[in-house]
Amino acid sequence: MESNPEKNDEKQETSDQISDIKKIMQLNKVGALLLTGDKYEKAESILKKTLDFYLEKKNKKEIPNFFYSILYCNLAKVYSCQKKFDEAKPLYIEIILNHPLFKLIIKNSDLMEKYFYIRNIENIMTDKTLRNEDEILKKAKLFLKYFEKDSESRKEFSSKILDNYINNKLNNKASLSDSLVNLAVIFQIENKDISISLDMYILSILIDENNSVSNVNYNNYLRECNFKNKSDIYINKRIQYALNDYTINIIPEDASIKNEIEKNDETLTFISMKWGKKYDADYLNKLYNGIKKNISKKFNFYCITEMPEGLNKEIKIINLETKFKGWMKKCMLFDEKIINQLESIKENSLICFIDLDMIIYNNLDFLNEYKGNFALMKTDDIQCEGSHNGYNSSIILYRKNFGRKIYDIMDKYENELTNQIIRFDHYLEFIVKNADFTQDVFIGKILDYNTYCKDKKLEELPKDGSIIAFPRSPKPHQCNEDWIKKLWSLD
């Protein structure tokens, strides 16, 4: 029997198509692994070539006409991680506009407006409206209802949208959720006052409610707009929802409660923390030297660390053992096991936590004059911050008997909290109310480098100041001023 050449050709074409599709998907996986390992240049090279190959085959109709959002998303993430936002932005837009799930959401635009006050969703990419307080409050209140018990909006969004979409290897929910949040962040970098970012954060969470990047940025957005109370309510509601326990109600510490302090101990207790390899021992030794040179009172200096090698022998070591990650390790400052290792302090004794990236240049005796329960820096005059009366924990003054909830609540709800908050400072805003601000208590004493000291000479530094903070960047070792080299030293 003779074979049919046309059928053989069809089989060959089908086999070639399958081979090409497998190649595209395998290369995408390699690029994704490189992205996860922070090997951005290699990931960009592989993913860009893969996308070009995919588009070439698709345009020549050598593979079926399908949209592969996961490939686009991985390449866009690589660009975002390298801050190549001009390259990332069009890829995210293409993903969103072509994603089958987003098209399904557009078909239900009436539902989006009714339950979430997200209007004109089909033109979401081109909306340049600036945010206003009334709309933010309305959207925040409506979105909160989505996570209530037996929520009507959740039932309808699920039945009409999520339940009708089948997740697949080409266009999964995560690729759309990630694209929405990452594009929203780019829009905010371009213009922090744009309103559409809030809609995109909400959409991203609706699609993947456990997307921590979306939840963190949603909460950050509310805090930057000075709606910290709405963020606090949302965080508490998300804990209730995650644990299916709507009786949970986290009551924060109140720093304004009066204490009986008339006079502080003569000996001041300093604590710092060092973990990982970002800061070497010299950072802590230079901080210790700066304090020692600029205080006339007796003091103890402790370091909580898992790497004590190379530290000055006068520094008292407390071993760092914790399940917490990143900035949340600072919760250990309020762990009773840590507090109990501090020598010769009373229940209401004053403790001063100070970050490693600080320069001391004048007398510190004033710190011991603080009579309150809890004080830290406020964000208003810190250049890298963006909110009014926000918290910055570069320096914290607190009583030995204050702040146990800071540790206990994080210990109890770590998974739920860190899905909503990534910065320790924002966690403090959630768990401690009515904190004092060091800039108000000690006017002109504690200064942000970028705001008050950058590019100055030693004789130009504020004469009444004592402490210079370097939150985020640059750090002291990255600065070239002569006064920094002189003051920040091991001598």
Q: Tell me: the pLDDT tens digits for 61-115? A: 999 889 999 999 999 999 999 999 999 999 999 999 999 999 999 999 999 999 9
Q: Which are the contacts of 161, defined by CB distance < 8 A and separation ≥ 6?
A: 101, 104, 105, 108, 111
The arithmetic mean of pLDDT across residues 186-192, rounded, is 90
> In the predicted model, is pLDDT for residue 280 greater than 80?
yes
Q: Which are the contacts of 379, defined by CB distance < 8 A and separation ≥ 6?
A: 385, 386, 387, 388, 389, 390, 391, 392
Q: What pLDDT is attached to residue 129?
A: 83
Contact 310, 329 (CB under 8 A): no
Q: Tell me: the pLDDT tens digits for 71-83? A: 999 999 999 999 9
Confidence category of residue 332, pLDDT binned at 50, 70, 90? very high
The arithmetic mean of pLDDT across residues 316-320, rounded, is 97
% the chain with pLDDT above 90: 83
Which phi and psi (to 5°) does residue 483 adopt?
-65, -30
> In the predicted model, is pLDDT for residue 258 greater than 90?
no
> In the predicted model, is pLDDT for residue 340 greater than 60?
yes
Q: Tell me: the pLDDT tens digits for 45-60? A: 999 999 999 999 999 9
Confidence category of residue 120, pLDDT binned at 50, 70, 90? confident
Q: Tell me: the pLDDT tens digits for 434-476? A: 999 999 999 999 999 999 999 888 888 999 999 999 998 899 9
% the chain with pLDDT above 70: 97
Instruction: In whole angstroms, give the CA distance from residue 130 to residue 438.
Output: 33
Instruction: In whole angstroms, give the CA distance from residue 88 to residue 1.
Output: 56
> In the predicted model, is pLDDT for residue 178 greater than 50?
yes
Distances (CA, A) of 353 to 287, 330, 350, 377: 12, 10, 10, 12
> In the predicted model, is pLDDT for residue 209 greater than 70?
yes
Domain positions in the chain: 17-98, 100-249, 264-487
Contact 383, 451 (CB under 8 A): yes
Residue position matching structure tokens 């070539």: 49
Confidence category of residue 1, pLDDT binned at 50, 70, 90? very low
Confidence category of residue 12, pLDDT binned at 50, 70, 90? low
Which phi and psi (to 5°) does residue 446 adopt?
-115, 120
Is 17-98's fold the same as 264-487's? no
The arithmetic mean of pLDDT across residues 276-294, rounded, is 94
> In the predicted model, is pLDDT for residue 335 greater than 50?
yes
> In the predicted model, is pLDDT for residue 3 greater than 60?
no
Q: What pLDDT is attached to residue 251?
A: 97
Count H helices and E strands in the chain, helices first.
Answer: 19, 12
> In the predicted model, is pLDDT for residue 6 greater than 50?
no
Specify whether domain 264-487 bears CATH 3.90.1300.10: no
The arithmetic mean of pLDDT across residues 259-266, rounded, is 84
Peptide bond into 474 cis (omega under 30): yes
Contact 458, 482 (CB under 8 A): yes
The arithmetic mean of pLDDT across residues 239-258, rounded, is 96
Q: What pLDDT is attached to residue 385?
A: 87
CATH class of the 17-98 domain in this structure: mainly alpha
Q: What pLDDT is attached to residue 199?
A: 95
Instruction: In whole angstroms, give the CA distance from residue 85 to residue 73.
Output: 13
